[in-house]
């Protein structure tokens, strides 16, 4: 089975994952500067128990239901299915994280995924730059490859008017919530409910990606690719399972990211609950998927291994 995200990137004869130029992305950068600056200046002055609880609750909902489940596991990888109305609710919550619109999220993810699967790729896609440069690149810049692949989204993404509306208005989606928080809890709720949430969520997303593409425990490896995925067990709970990134590189279309015994995956727990309610179905796990070409257990001998719930033959 071909990974869903790789089907949207069509390599051309001259496609090259290495040659390119990092350029400042002014709209994205000013957005992040505004959110981060507001959080740094105003959050320490507006700390209240209610504001902190609001930040925790809204961060959990948007990052878990929205980003991890809605954007990543559903919209990008189609690792489960859901009624269209519920899919749109999840993607809307993912848009509120404040990283980008849904189509930009899909394109950025698929471009990075394609590049990392090549034998070599640019330092930006590999998170190979030093810490602060990588932060600047990932949150304030874009990489223009000289010879990129062609992005061809499927019709259900390309022709969805709701997704197109979210794509045009993803920044403005914060405004109704900002007004609601201001009315309900004053300036503390506004600051902690919007700029603090967005700044911490987006910066945390970059930080986990920076670490999990460079070092850490590794249960699986893939031969002949530019970038490996690693796990970050300490962040498993607060990332709702996304920190099991080595597992995700191994089984990208699995709805379950914590696939080994003892690997906590709150996003998967939520999906199981949603399945009991009849809101999602067809949850994919490694046993249902074909292994990636070159996938093997990290530091394995030439023996066969089993992923949770199924067979795996080393290649």
Report, as an integer, the average pLDDT of 211-226: 96
Position 145 scores a pLDDT of 98
pLDDT 10s digits, 167-180: 999 999 999 999 99
Question: Is the confidence at residue 88, as pLDDT, over 50?
Answer: yes
* Ranges of each domain in the chain: 4-297
Position 311 scores a pLDDT of 43
pLDDT 10s digits, 9-59: 999 999 999 999 999 999 999 999 999 999 999 999 999 999 999 999 999
pLDDT 10s digits, 118-160: 999 999 999 999 999 999 999 999 999 999 999 999 999 999 9
Question: Is the confidence at residue 288, as pLDDT, over 70?
Answer: yes
Rg of the chain in Å (alpha carbons) = 19
Average pLDDT, the chain: 94
pLDDT 10s digits, 95-124: 999 999 999 999 999 999 999 999 999 999
Residue found by looking up tokens 């404040």 in the block: 98
Position 112 scores a pLDDT of 98
- Compute the half-sphere exposure of residue 119: CA atoms within 13 Å on the CB side of its CA: 1
Residues 6+ away with beta carbon under 8 Å from 85: none
Confidence of residue 299 (pLDDT cuts 50, 70, 90): confident
Report, as an integer, the average pLDDT of 188-203: 98
Structure tokens at 230: 């690693």
């Amino acid at each position: 089975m071909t990974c869903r995200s790789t089907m949207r990137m069509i390599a051309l004869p001259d496609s090259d994952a290495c040659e390119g130029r990092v350029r400042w992305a002014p709209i994205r950068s000013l957005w992040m500067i505004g959110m981060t600056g507001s959080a740094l200046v105003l959050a320490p002055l507006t700390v209240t128990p209610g504001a902190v609880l609001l930040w925790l609750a809204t961060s959990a909902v948007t990052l878990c239901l929205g980003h991890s489940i809605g954007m990543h596991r559903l919209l990008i990888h189609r690792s489960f299915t859901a009624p269209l109305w519920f899919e749109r609710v999840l993607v809307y919550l993912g848009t509120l994280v404040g990283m980008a619109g849904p189509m930009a999220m899909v394109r950025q993810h698929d471009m990075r995924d394609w590049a990392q699967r090549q034998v070599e790729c640019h330092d930006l896609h590999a998170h190979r730059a030093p810490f602060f440069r990588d932060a600047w690149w990932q949150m304030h810049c874009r990489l223009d490859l000289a010879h990129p692949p062609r992005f061809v989204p499927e019709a259900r993404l390309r022709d969805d008017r709701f997704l197109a509306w979210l794509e045009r208005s993803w920044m403005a989606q914060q405004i109704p919530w900002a007004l609601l928080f201001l009315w309900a809890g004053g300036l503390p709720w506004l600051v902690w409910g919007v700029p603090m949430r967005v700044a911490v969520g987006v910066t945390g997303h970059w930080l986990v990606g920076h670490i999990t593409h460079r070092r850490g425990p590794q249960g699986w490896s893939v031969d002949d690719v530019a970038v490996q995925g690693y796990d970050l067990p300490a962040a498993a709970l607060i990332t709702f399972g996304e920190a099991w990134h080595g597992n995700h590189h191994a089984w990208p279309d699995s709805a379950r990211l914590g696939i080994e015994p003892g690997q906590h995956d709150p996003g998967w727990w939520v999906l199981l609950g949603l399945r009991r309610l009849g809101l999602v179905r067809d949850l994919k796990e490694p046993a249902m998927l074909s292994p990636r070409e070159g996938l093997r257990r990290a530091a394995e001998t030439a023996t066969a291994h089993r992923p949770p719930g199924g067979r795996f033959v080393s290649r």
